[in-house]
């Protein structure tokens, strides 16, 4: 059995506007009808895998559980990091939580990558698991390079890689410039660093003791003093906050003597920017790839994406352009500059543009809401309440509310009175009245609030 | 007194998505807070002008009256063309309707042009009016060329133009190619054809009798058999449909011996494509012009426009791009290809993409509505009912409705019962019930329908 540990705390902005701090890339339906997080969970399920451990943040814990639930996964363990401390602390904490299985192999995977050829990936994982069991190595899956990519880190081997064989690693290389990248690919002894790791629990803990001993005490304390909270395990905030953020590559992999890799050609991408999405979206002979409700007219070498069936995106005479349309935000970029989207988000954030970080849909423990229409005198929202979801008791001094249930049944409390409001029924909450809503049913409940 | 005739029947698509068949350019707030139609009405008001005649279509008559009302213009005459028959028929019909004032000067103007320097324009109009009174000429205002524009027709003079003087016209020139345009501008004897005409009523009718006699009978019949309909004058459909569509330039101006022009430099543009909008929007030193909620990051020579405060449009590293974002449609185009937007709309129309022709807001005699949210089981609409507006009595077999009034007071009829529903009140229309809504108040009434 392999113990999957899925890192799900990132909040990348290089795929803005689809990926935002409040609803990052791993949760978006970037490719197909499931999120990258859901695809990662599915890929690491089945008879060879134990129930996964998902390391996520306070902000994302409800999105993560909702998405896991939506694909029928009910045995995942959710570990909440009280603050972001980079990958070394997340991986060590996970290892310490698995310390009862010290001989077990754990597999650490980001939640926001794509792997097109899952059987090839799983074959490589089996090879890797056997290698770490046999050797006690710390292993990184290496991806066969097919172009001089400057957006990835590289792994250096002593000799050219052979698919299906574990090999010792001689060096980790940072993201290169274009010239260095071309030389590395030409050398035939380089692989891309996938950021997917395999090792035995005891071996990685030993490596931390040796190469990053400062992390041991606070991580152990964060685990020991951590608390169950609903269905989450929350690492102790005081202990965790003492940790100096550092990546696992820097803290451990670059220092470990016994590092290995297994090369894999499995259609892997970290989807690190819109040009990576374009590449993986199988552009046509003109180099044009589209997603959603789009018309491309005399375009070349471009990626056109509409995130909403109600928005039709048209490209006319474009060359080397990325355009992404959402209900509240549109990005149009030079494709060669796609990596700079994160800088744009920093500018938007500084200018206090809400779209920098917020997404149109606000996720809450009980479900989500989105604004359909905002005016100086009124607002219209669409609200979804999960089965079992309960909104806290509240009253408003400056607004009254009209609710119309459009799917499911709401249990509505107004003052002392509790009533069931079913599909196609409305209810009025006068200004200043204490009220609450809950979904006691088995299916999501939707309502429109005016 | 000059009699303004404003042509307001066009439904251009070169400014898609802002301009659509259902809500064309002249009604959009392309520049500033009033529409081009409203600006045209204002420009042709005042002590020198009689009440304007607005020639429009069945589809636009309610938008036109609503927009005229919104700027406080209550003496305009609205003439409805039962079908589009190009400018010659529209101008002749208007002239025949003014036949009681046969010595009067009429000024014919499109409703979708911009004129930045209104005093300079009005001075030229006075010069032109005097010239046509003195000479009986048919006069076109000519615009001083400042670049070899291929998107305009040209007027040829016998000698170089002098501002403020009426001059004879020797020839009309079609839209040229780039080389011809450069030669024409260099000649110093060319002006752009503004499409704004002045002539005495009797003179233009005489010109039609001579050069386009086939138009005389059907236009006279369309006027004679036309009918008052609410506050519109509706030309007779049977007569009007017999007319062969032809432009006034082709039918009359190119044939008339006594044609003249007055040159004017008044910041005129026909706003015929997005690059014209870019030009008139005063691009910054990088050539970037923006409108609405937009961030331009390292862009050059581009026009970025958001039509909705709730949509933030970001340009990143763009060069020579036009991007226009609306709630239901986004255009991203090579600026040099902006003129081709009309071809794109034809493609969208052929593909039955609703955004080709429909706008998010549907205008009706009683006001407008827009869809806020569409689902398989429900829909949410925002509805505005004008003062005095009445929706027809109706009932729905497949839907019930919840109405919440958010501004104003609705008179709601459900079955036999009539009730007033005021701001912050809701009402339920059961499936199959006959119902109607009206606004008997003095201000627009807004409601949300679920």
E strand intervals along B48-137? 53-57, 77-81, 105-110, 114-115
Nearest Cα to Cα of residue A127 among A298, A310, A264, A243: A264
For residue A150, pLDDT beyond 70: yes
Per the CB < 8 Å rule, is B341 touching A377? no
Alpha carbon distance B327, B20 (integer Å) = 14
DSSP per-residue string spanning B357-411: T--SEEEETTEEEEEEEE-SS-EEEEEEE-TT-BPPPB--SS--EEEEEEESEEE
pLDDT tens for each residue of A85-105: 999 999 999 999 999 999 999
For B207-246, what is each residue's pLDDT tens digit? 999 999 999 999 999 999 999 987 899 999 999 999 999 9
- Give pLDDT tens digits for A235-245: 999 999 999 99
B448 touches chain A (CB under 8 A): yes
Pick from B20, B302, B307, B317 the residue to mutate for testing the A interface (most A CBs within 10 Å): B317
| Residues 151-170 of chain A whose Cβ lies under 8 A from any Cβ of chain B | none
A316: nearest CB among B304, B325, B337 = B337
| Cα of B68 to nearest chain A Cα, Å | 25
Contact B402 A426 (CB under 8 A): yes
At B71, which helix (H) or strand (E)? none
Predicted confidence (pLDDT) at residue A163 exceeds the cutoff of 70: no
Distance from CA of B377 to the nearest CA of A (A): 8
β-strand partners of A313: A294, B330
ipTM of the complex: 0.92
Q: Which residues 378-397 on chain A approach chain B with CB closer than 8 angstroms?
A: 378, 380, 382
CB-closest option in A312, A321, A380 to B328: A312
Distances in whole angstroms, Cα of residue B177 to Cα of each of B13, B341, B434, B446: 22, 19, 61, 50
A318 contacts B334? CB cut-off 8 A: yes
What pTM does this model have?
0.92
What DSSP state is assigned to residue B249? I
Question: Does B58 touch chain A if contact means CB atoms closer than 8 Å?
Answer: no
* Least-confidence region, from A160-164, B55-59, B433-437: A160-164
Share of chain B above pLDDT 90, in %: 80
CA dihedral B23, B25, B27, B28 (to 10 degrees): 100
Q: Is there a contact between B402 and A400 if contact means CB atoms under 8 Å apart?
A: no
Q: Count CA within 13 A, CB hemisphere, residue A120.
A: 14
Distances (CA, A) of B123 to B119, B137, B199, B263, B268: 6, 18, 16, 11, 14
**Facing residue for A316 by CB, picked from B318, B344, B382:** B344
pLDDT for residue B161:
83
Tell me the mean pLDDT in the region A305-323: 97
The residues that bridge with B371 in the sheet, in sequence order, are B381
CB contact under 8 A, A377 and B406: yes
Q: Residue A432 above 90 pLDDT?
A: no
A321 touches chain B (CB under 8 A): yes
Task: Please give the residue of chain B at the shortest CA–CA distance from A371.
Answer: B372
Spatial neighbors of B414 by CB under 8 A, at least 6 apart, are B427, B429, B433, B434, B435
Quick one: pLDDT band at residue A32, thresholds 50, 70, 90? Answer: confident
Q: What pLDDT is recorded for position B173?
A: 86
Report chain B residues whose CB lies below 8 A from the CB of A340: 297-298, 316-317
Average pLDDT value for chain A:
94
B298 CB burial (10 A radius; 0-12, 13-18, 19+):
middle
Residues of A in contact with B329 (CB under 8 A): 311-314
Task: In whole angstroms, give the CA distance from residue B206 to residue B213.
Answer: 9
Read off the pLDDT of residues B299-332 as tens digits, 9 standing for 90 and up. Answer: 999 999 999 999 999 999 999 999 999 999 999 9
Smallest CA–CA separation between B140 and chain A, in Å?
35
The bridge status of strand B2-8 relative to strand B53-57 is parallel
pLDDT score, position A230: 78
pLDDT digits (tens, 9 = 90+) for A368-424: 999 998 888 899 999 999 999 998 888 888 889 999 999 999 999 998 899 999 999
**Contact flag B329-A317 (C-beta cutoff 8 Å):** no
Q: What pLDDT is attached to residue B398?
A: 84
DSSP of B77-98: EEEEESS--HHHHHHHHHHHHT
- Rounded CA separation A50/A106 (Å): 9
The answer to whether A374 contacts chain B (CB < 8 Å) is: yes
Q: pLDDT at residue B124 above 80?
A: yes
* pLDDT score of A164 more than 80: no
Average pLDDT over residues A194-222: 97
Rounded to a whole number, what is the distance in Å from the CA of A329 to chain B's nearest CA? 5
Using an 8 Å CB-CB cutoff, list chain A residues near B295.
344, 347-348, 351, 353
Judge whether residue B164 has pLDDT over 80. no
Q: Do A344 and B295 touch (CB under 8 A)?
A: yes
Q: How far is the CA of A427 from the CAs of B121, B163, B287, B288, B428, in angstroms?
A: 58, 69, 54, 50, 11
Sign of the Cα torsion B420, B425, B431, B437 reads: positive
Averaged pLDDT, A25-49 = 94
Judging by DSSP bridges, how do beta strands A367-374 and A379-385 pair with one another?
Answer: antiparallel
Residue B200: pLDDT band (50, 70, 90) is very high
Strand order in the sheet with B426-429: B361-364, B367-374, B379-385, B445-449, B401-407, B426-429
Give contacts of A 99-158 with B, CB under 8 A: none
Nearest CA-CA distance, residue A334 and chain B, Å = 5
Cross-chain residue pair A327–B330, CB shorter than 8 Å: no
pLDDT at B394: 85
A427 touches chain B (CB under 8 A): no
CB atoms B316 and A333 under 8 Å: yes
In this prediction, residues B438-444 reach a mean pLDDT of: 93
**pLDDT (0 to 100) of residue A229:** 85
The pLDDT, as a whole number, for residue A375 is: 87
B252 DSSP 8-state letter = I
Q: What is the mean pLDDT of residues A249-266?
A: 93
Give the containing element (helix H, strand E) for B73. Answer: none
**Exposed/middle/buried for B182, CB within 10 Å: 0-12, 13-18, 19+?**
middle
Q: What's the whole-number mean pLDDT along residues A14-29?
A: 94
Q: Which residue has the tokens 């009140």?
A: B425
Mutate to test the interface with B, among A322, A353, A402 (most CBs of B within 10 A): A402
B12, two tokens: 């251009």
Q: How far is B376 from chain A (nearest CA, A)?
A: 11
| 3-state helix, strand and coil shares in percent for chain B, rounded to the nearest 5 | 30, 35, 40
Long-range contacts of A215-218 (CB under 8 A, 24+ apart): A215/A88, A215/A89, A215/A92, A215/A243, A215/A246, A215/A251, A216/A92, A218/A89, A218/A242, A218/A243
pLDDT in the model for residue A158:
86
As a whole number, mean pLDDT of residues A28-45 equals: 94
Dig out the tokens for A236 from the structure: 């102790």
For A55-88, how does the pLDDT look when each residue is reduced to its tens digit (9 = 90+)? Answer: 999 989 989 998 999 999 989 999 999 999 999 9
Contact B410, B447 (CB under 8 A): yes
* Cα end-to-end span (Å), chain A: 52
Sheet holding B435-438, edge to edge: B417-422, B409-414, B435-438
pLDDT top residue among A362 and B132: B132
Which residues is A269 bridged to in the sheet? A114
**In this predicted structure, what is the pLDDT of residue B383?**
95
d(CA A284, CA A295): 14
Task: Name residues 265-304 of chain B within 8 A of A (Cβ).
Answer: 293, 295, 297-298, 304
What is the 3-state secondary structure of chain A?
A: CEEEEEEECCCCCCCCCCCECCECHHHCCCCCCCCHHHHHHHHCCCCCECCCEEEEECCCHHHHHHHHHHCCCCCCEEEEECCCCHHHHHHHHHHHHCHHHCCCEEEEEECCCEECCHHHHHHHHHHHHHHHHHHCCEEEEEEECCCCCCCCCEEEECCCCCCCCCEEEEEEECCCCHHHHHHHHHHCCEEEEEEEEEEEHHHHHHHHHHHCHHHHHHHHHHHHCCEEECCEEECCHHHHHCCCCCCHHHHHHCCCCCEEEEEECCCEECCCCHHHHHHHCCCCCCCEEEECCEEEECCECEEEEECCCCCEEEEECCECEEEEECCCEEEEEEHHHHHHHHHHHHHHHHCCCHHHCCCCEEEECCEEEEEEEECCCCEEEEEEECCCCECCCECCCCCCEEEEEEECEEEEEECCEEEEEECCCEEEECCCCCEEEECCCCCCEEEEEC
Asked whether the predicted pLDDT for residue B163 surpasses 80, the reply is no
**pLDDT(A286) > 80:** yes
């Amino acid at each position: 059995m392999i113990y999957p540990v899925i890192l799900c705390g990132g909040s990348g902005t290089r795929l803005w506007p689809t990926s935002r701090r409040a609803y990052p890339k791993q949760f978006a339906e970037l490719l197909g009808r499931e999120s990258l997080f859901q695809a990662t969970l599915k890929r690491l399920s089945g008879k060879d895998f134990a129930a996964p451990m998902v390391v996520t943040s306070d902000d994302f814990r409800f999105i993560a559980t909702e998405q896991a639930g939506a694909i029928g996964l009910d045995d995942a363990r959710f570990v909440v990091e009280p603050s972001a401390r980079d990958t070394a602390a997340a991986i060590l904490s996970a290892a310490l939580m698995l310390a009862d299985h010290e001989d077990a192999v754990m597999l650490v995977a980001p939640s926001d990558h794509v792997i097109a050829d899952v059987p090839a990936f799983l074959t490589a994982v089996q090879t890797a698991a056997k290698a770490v069991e046999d050797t006690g190595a710390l292993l990184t899956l290496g991806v066969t390079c097919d172009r001089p990519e400057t957006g990835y880190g590289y792994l250096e081997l002593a000799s050219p890689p052979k698919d299906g064989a574990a090999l010792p690693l001689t060096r980790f290389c940072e993201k290169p410039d274009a010239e260095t990248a071309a030389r590395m690919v030409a050398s035939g002894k380089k692989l891309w660093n996938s950021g997917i790791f395999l090792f035995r629990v005891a071996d990685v803990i030993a490596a931390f003791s040796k190469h990053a001993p400062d992390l041991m005490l606070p991580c152990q304390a964060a685990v020991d003093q951590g608390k169950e909270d609903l269905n989450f395990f929350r690492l102790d905030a005081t202990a965790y906050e003492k940790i100096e953020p550092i990546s696992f590559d820097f803290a451990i992999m670059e220092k470990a003597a016994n590092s290995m890799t297994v090369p894999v050609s499995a259609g892997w991408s970290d989807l690190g920017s819109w040009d990576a999405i374009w590449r993986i979206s199988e552009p046509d002979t003109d180099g044009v790839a589209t997603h959603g409700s789009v018309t491309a007219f005399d375009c070349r070498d471009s990626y056109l994406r509409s995130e909403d069936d109600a928005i039709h995106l048209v490209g006319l005479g474009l060359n080397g352009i990325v355009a992404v349309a959402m209900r509240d935000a549109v990005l149009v970029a030079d494709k060669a500059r796609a990596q700079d989207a994160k800088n744009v988000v920093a500018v938007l954030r500084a200018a206090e543009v809400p779209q920098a970080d917020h997404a149109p849909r606000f996720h809450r423990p009980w479900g989500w809401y989105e604004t359909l229409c905002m005016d100086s005198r009124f607002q219209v929202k669409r609200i979804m309440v999960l089965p079992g979801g309960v909104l806290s008791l509240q009253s408003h001094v400056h607004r009254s509310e009209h609710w119309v249930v459009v799917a499911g049944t709401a249990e509505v409390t107004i003052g002392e009175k509790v009533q069931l409001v079913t599909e196609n029924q409305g209810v009025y909450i006068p200004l200043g009245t204490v009220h609450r809503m809950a979904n006691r049913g088995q299916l999501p409940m939707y309502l429109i609030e005016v």
